Amino acid sequence: MPENTEFNIDQDKNYEMNEDKASLETDNLVNEENSEISNNVPLDNAGQEITGEAPKADPLAAAKAEIAELKDKYLRLYADFENFRRRTAKEKLEMISGASADTVKLILPIVDDFERAKVSFDSSTDIEALKEGVDLIYTKLYKALESKGLKAMESKGADFDAEIHESIAQFPAPSEDLKGKVIDEIEKGYYLNDKVIRYAKVIVGA
């Protein structure tokens, strides 16, 4: 009986040693596999594991960037519009100034004629010659203005039209066919390039 007991104790020790050895070998294999897996996983600069998914964009940052871009476009567009407005206003003033200068240059010779006529009034006693000279100056002036698009209205005897006439009085019409028509013209009306620049002041038959 004592010999069998010693044999059993030796068997138990050998079994425990074999079991510890197998457990150690298993742990080593697991550690090696974990090491291989960790070496194959890509990491970023901070040592964090990089997954296959793209990082999600920050909606607030994207909105701020879009607002900044739109603001820049608005400022550029506003600056372009201001430059266009100033340039257009300058060109308009230059055009008006140029047109005024052309008209003045056209009238200056007529002003010279009037000055000569004034001298003639003081020295000449021929009334007919003076009247003829004034008529010539008037014709010259009217022709110059016509060349710029001026045209007189023909109102007397025409139907009254509130679009071009200004009634200052109503008198009894001398005949039935003149009722509602212009029977006299106090101040002539004018067109400039077919646009009314002065209404005719008229008397209408009632």
pTM equals: 0.51
pLDDT tens digit string along 32-53?
A: 545 544 454 454 554 454 555 5
CATH architecture of 151-206: Roll (2.30)
pLDDT tens digit string along 130-140?
A: 888 889 999 99
Residues facing residue 16 across a β-bridge = none
Q: Stretch 168-197: mean pLDDT, rounded?
A: 87
- Residue 169 or 28, more confident: 169
Domain extents for the chain?
A: 59-148, 151-206
Whether the per-residue pLDDT at 1 is higher than 80: the answer is: no
DSSP string, 116-181: HHHHHHHH---HHHHHHHHHHHHHHHHHHHHTTTEEE---TTSBP-TTTEEEEEEE--SSGGGTTB
Residues facing residue 200 across a β-bridge = 165
CATH code linked to domain 59-148 = 3.90.20.20
- Residue 106 or 100, more confident: 106
Say if CB 154 and CB 189 are below 8 A apart.
no
Tokens at 144, concatenated: 């110059």
